[in-house]
Structure formats: C-alpha cells, structure tokens
Amino acid sequence: MTELKNDRFIRALLRQPVDVTPVWMMRQAGRYLPEYRETRKKAGSFMDLCTNPELACEVTLQPLERFPLDAAILFSDILTIPDAMGLGLYFEEGEGPRFKNPLRDEKQIAALGVPDPEQELRYVMDAVRTIRRELNGRVPLIGFSGSPWTLATYMVEGGSSKDFRTIKAMLYERPELLDQLLETVAQSVALYLDAQIKAGAQTVMIFDTWGGALTPSDYCRFSLKPMERIIQSLQKNMGDEKVPVILFTKNGGQWLEAMTDTGADALGLDWTTDLADARRRVGAQVALQGNLDPSVLYASPKTIREQVGKVLASFGKGNGHVFNLGHGIHPGINPEHAGAMIEAVHDLSRAYHDQ
C-alpha cells in the first residue's frame, strides 16, 4: 500500500499527536463548487454521476485541488444499498430522493436480499479503487454508509419525511417487523463498509442522519444497537491495519456515552453539542469530530476565523480532535469562505499541539 504523505487525520482519529488539527467537510465535494456543477452537468444526472467511477473520482478530488484538506471522502449517496435491494431510487427535482417501491408490509421486508457489494454495488467499489489510486497517498480516503435506521426511514417512507409517520407507526405497532428490516439492512451495511475497506477506504463513517428523531429508548434499540453490530462486524474482519470507524448521529449529543460504548473510534458532533462538555463526558475513549455550524460559512472570513477559534478553544489542548462542520456544507456557500475556514483551522490549531 502507498504510504500516506499526510496522515494527521488518521492519527487524530486514533488520538495520537499531530502538528495541527486535521480538517475536512461533510459534503465537501458538492454543489457549492462550480467545478462540481459542471461535472454533474456532464454526467447527465446525480445517479449517473454516482454510478460512474471515473466521474465520482473526479468530483471526490475536486475540493482537494482547491483546499489543503486532510482527507478525501468517497463521492456517493447514502441510498445506494436500498437501490441495490430493488426499491427503485430516483430523484425528484426540488424534493430529493424517492423510491418507486417503498416497504409497507411483511412480505416485502421478508423478500429483501442482502446486496453483494462486488456485484450490485460494484460501481461504488470501483470508485473507491479509482480514487485510492489517484490519491496516491496524498491524504486518507473516507468510505461511508447511512445507518440502518436512517436507510430504513427512506425505505419505508418512500423518501424524505418530516414526521416519519409510516416508519414510526411500524415501530410502535410492529416493532419486531422493524427489527427484522433493520437486521437485514445492518448486515448489508456491514458487508458494504467491509468491501469499501478492502477496496481501499482507510476510514469509514456511519451517517445516522435521523437517529435524533427517536426517543432515548427507541434510539438505543432501533438506531444504536444495529450500528454497534456493524462496528463489531467490521472490527472482527480487520487485519493488522487498524481502520478507524466514525459514528455520527445528528441531534445525538445526549447519547454520547452510549455511542462511545459501541466501540467506535470517533464520534461526529453536530453544532448543538458543546465540544468541551462532550470531551469531559467521553474522556480519552474516543476522538471527537466537529462541530462548526455550517451557517457560519455565510459570514465574513474574519467572522469565520473567530468562530473557528471558538471551536478549537472549546476542545482545548491535546489529541483526538478532527475539525469539521456540524453537518454538510450548504450549496450556497462561497468556496472562498470554506477556504478561509480551512486556513484558520490549520493556523490557529498549532497552539493546541505540542509538535
């Protein structure tokens, strides 16, 4: 394997010393970049872009050409697994992802198969291999998946939802049926992430976008436990080389201790959680990733620098911090403002490290 020229991201996840705090952004390859919009136009559609390994590689690398980021993240979509299960993913302009065949009954759920990552999802694995080759050790590559609960919300609702009425009705009326669905999805996610690691991903992240919509007890049963099973499966299959796992639940700050107990190496935090308080609660058990409010990037570079300083000061001195936004970068952000944030992180964080 090619040796990493910049390994501070991996080192931070493993709570090892670094010279400056590493930084990357969720959705860093996205619509805020004009070059991304051009490539997507060339591809014809979002799914055509996702399923073309060469173009997925191109947009993955675009932000690294602009900014001195410390990691690349695979360009893909969290709904590739449900699509591979035959639910018929499509994108409605202005409405986001939709499924032609949402899951509404026991028969449909029982018929679900676990996709083979090197067959039905081969285009993702080919993208990982292509990106890893083109990176040539420049920075680490992050692979990812949606969490079982998050994927299940789309699979049952048929798309995005504000109230999750259909899946929550299933949760309360037929919890054992939801358990069955989540077990199939969890097996699929574990295989999918393991295949990404074998293809070249050096870190993997589980995006639990909708875990925060659950009650505490429901979160533990229907969101956290399936993610814990995935993490255990991944760790069992790892060879000698440690591949860090990042767990991110949006609006999940109240469950940090339980998230730490899953065995994850790092926890992603959104901007509603105080970083200093989170560090006190989890101690040195896990690294922490986050957590600048993405809307800060609408402000001036001077204000951005001040806000970056506050986040760094909140974590304080020591190891185990990866700087990120508290969620994905907004499409309307000026790319120069993203650059100002990255520059401020590297500049201001030096004082918090002994190297």
User: Has 31 been labeled as part of a binding site?
Assistant: yes
- Active-site choice (8, 11, 15, 27): 27
60 labeled part of a ligand binding site: no
Q: Measured between alpha carbons, how far is 92 from 201 in angstroms, rounded to an integer?
A: 30
The answer to whether residue 229 is catalytic is no
In terms of phi and psi (left: phi > 0; alpha: psi -120 to 50; beta: otherwise), the region of 195 is alpha
133 is in an annotated binding site: no
| 98 among known catalytic residues | no
Name residues whose C-beta falls within 8 Å of residue 186's C-beta, 6 or more positions apart in sequence.
148, 226, 227, 229, 230
CA atoms 125, 127, 128, 129: torsion sign: positive
Q: How far is CA 312 from CA 15, 347, 348, in A?
A: 16, 11, 8
Strand ranges (E), the chain? 72-73, 89-92, 96-99, 141-146, 203-208, 245-249, 266-268, 287-289, 321-322
Mark whether 31 is an active-site residue: yes
The CA angle 60-2-61, to the nearest 5 degrees, is 10
**Torsion, CA 14, CA 190, CA 51, CA 289, rounded to 10:** -30
Alpha carbon of 196 to those of 18, 200, 202: distances in Å? 26, 6, 9
Contacts of 342 by beta carbon, 8 Å cutoff, 6+ apart: 23, 67, 68, 69
Q: Of 77, 126, 218, 270, which one is the catalytic site residue?
A: 77
Question: Is 28 annotated as a binding-site member?
Answer: yes
> Is 39 labelled a binding residue?
no
Three-state SS at 98: strand
Is residue 44 marked as binding? no
27 is catalytic: yes
Q: Is 40 noted as a catalytic residue in this protein?
A: yes
- Alpha-carbon gap, residue 208 to 153, rounded angstroms: 11
Check whether 138 is labelled as a binding-site residue: no
Is 330 known as a binding-site position? no
Q: Is 303 annotated among the ligand-binding residues?
A: no
* Among 32, 154, 192, 219, the one annotated catalytic: 154
Query: Cβ distance 30 to 75 under 8 Å?
Result: no
Q: Which residues are annotated as a binding site for substrate?
A: 27-31, 77, 154, 209, 327
Residues annotated catalytic, as ranges: 27, 31, 40, 77, 154
Q: Which residues are annotated as a binding site?
A: 27-31, 77, 154, 209, 327
